[in-house]
Structure 1
């Protein structure tokens, strides 16, 4: 681009996080070394979901595809004198669009939003600049079905067959303090197992697992599992036992458990307890489904900051720029920060971006509550533990 010294998109929101219904505002900056013949300067705002099941089953869903012509007219050429130019733009995001999602590990799909500025030059490759931004979803745990604010328990056992004889089963139990969390919140886990097989246990572990389902309109689907948190205990000799007492892990920066408006990608989270028995090809696995949201349970806020919750009734207030307008939030709930997704960045450059500048390495940013680790609670009395339906 010898004539074009600079082509860049500068957004008004430095966090680059938006909610459905909000305006994406900014400027396209153009700096020319020489008078330049062109047809137009335009900017496009696009958002779509894409999934790849296999080579015969790929699918996409469009959420926004709008273009603004900043200067120029169709099929007419103009000469823009050398100098510096700034062209403001504004796009309104549709209501009900899903939040951003990337899959840098399995590369099966995404929900992605971006802006692309183009200078259309006759008989030459068009210089372009691309920038990505995050759309955040809102999931209020206080209104979400199946979120349990009390302790939940699940138990199971497995029997090992050896030389046509069944051993005494290995038994395990998993308990968590509730089933609804926000990123940055601590999960309190209690678990135990008793090895009745006599074989011993190589290890036991507690995981936070993310299960993502990619499903085409025709019903073809694939699933990917990602371990977001893993905690391990070491080996136990035959006939022994082990207990996890009030162990804690923090929910990392992750997308919420729903992508409203997306018909292709579905997210589930589980807290899992796995016991690896020596010498057999399967593990004893227990799992409790949980919901990861963006607005915490009232009981959670009362626990972390009891002096800051005068009333159980949430109040609708005017939210700052970059926050969801009209969301039901307690007026005194401290605003969360945004943190890059724990899975890191992905290269978003596609074939259509071969002439585009800009940083194509991108990770969505998710709501994150910087809450301190709570004091170790006492072990829950069994009378207060609710059995899981799993």
Structure 2
């Protein structure tokens, strides 16, 4: 076993989800099997976005930084063998965007720690990703409460129509050297067609999984839009409406993430 047996970062109360403007506190832990000379021990909190022209490629062609704060935990000296803990705290910017990860780019927030050793010795590094959930208040968007569909279809032809299909579409736009648009069908429901010369009403709702919020405020490289599309294949007809997805329900007060709440990147709770 080497001289550095443990080098890790932990966040207070095991939290992984934070809101913009909140303090982020934690501890850097080090366990040594032998004394370790060092030049400095530092911890850094960063938030950034990277976008690529190719799917699943982390060679970013465009990058954007949101914050980069550093603290010195210890100056030049020598750590004796045994366990050592270094507490730290940062204040997250009020403008920090929500964490997100897609095929052409991602918004990542992380804490990194480093033990800088004397010249010709290997530095020791570790990191921990955390997630920011920026509130999108649906009370500011009128007449949007739930993803429910009420369609009135009048068939004025002599043929039966094809089944009617309602789809929830997600459009993610990435600003690389050019804009890249990734459109996906998130959820879909199908109803019966309409008989010739008949009129029918269709009432349906779409069950929506956890999704990133609309727009991603604070980020200029990635933009998210959602649409509800109702369509017929025969005869060909399509109606498309914008849908807003947020994390503060209509007529509800904002709720801060609870300690210990774990969410995957880019997946705030839906309303």
What range describes the TM-score normalised by the shorter chain of this pair?
Answer: 0.7 to 0.9
Over aligned residue pairs, what C-alpha RMSD do you find?
3.2
How big is the shift at 1:258? 2.6
Does residue 229 in structure 1 map to residue 184 in structure 2?
A: no
Query: Aligned runs of 1:37-186 on 2, under 5 Å?
Result: 37-53=37-53, 58-73=61-76, 78-103=77-102, 107-122=103-118, 123-143=120-140, 147-149=141-143, 180-181=144-145, 186=146
Query: Aligned runs of 1:227-376 on 2, under 5 Å?
Result: 227-233=185-191, 239=196, 245-277=202-234, 284-298=237-251, 322=257, 340-341=263-264, 363-368=265-270
Structure 2 alignment gaps of length 5 or more? none
Whether the 8 Å CA contact 2:35–2:81 is kept in 1: the answer is yes
CA distance in structure 2 between the partners assigned to 1:33 and 1:108 by the alignment: 43
The verdict on how the C-alpha distance between 1:224 and 1:339 changes in structure 2, with shifts beyond 3 A counting, is: farther
| TM-score, structure 2 as length reference | 0.83
Whether the 8 Å CA contact 1:339–1:368 is kept in 2: the answer is no
Whether the 8 Å CA contact 1:253–1:339 is kept in 2: the answer is no
CA distance in structure 2 between the partners assigned to 1:72 and 1:134 by the alignment: 30
Aligned length in residues: 265
- 1:142-176 alpha-carbon deviations (Å, 9 max, x no partner): 22xxx331xxxxxxxxxxxxxxxxxxxxxxxxxxx
How big is the shift at 1:130? 1.5
> Which structure exhibits the higher relative contact order, with contacts defined as CA atoms closer than 8 Å and separated by 6 or more residues?
2
1:169 counterpart residue number: none
The verdict on how the C-alpha distance between 1:260 and 1:246 changes in structure 2, with shifts beyond 3 A counting, is: same
Secondary structure in structure 2 of the residue aligned to 1:42: strand
The verdict on how the C-alpha distance between 1:288 and 1:368 changes in structure 2, with shifts beyond 3 A counting, is: closer
Whether the 8 Å CA contact 1:229–1:249 is kept in 2: the answer is yes
1:214 counterpart residue number: 174
How big is the shift at 1:271? 0.9
How big is the shift at 1:338? 5.8
Whether the 8 Å CA contact 1:339–1:365 is kept in 2: the answer is no
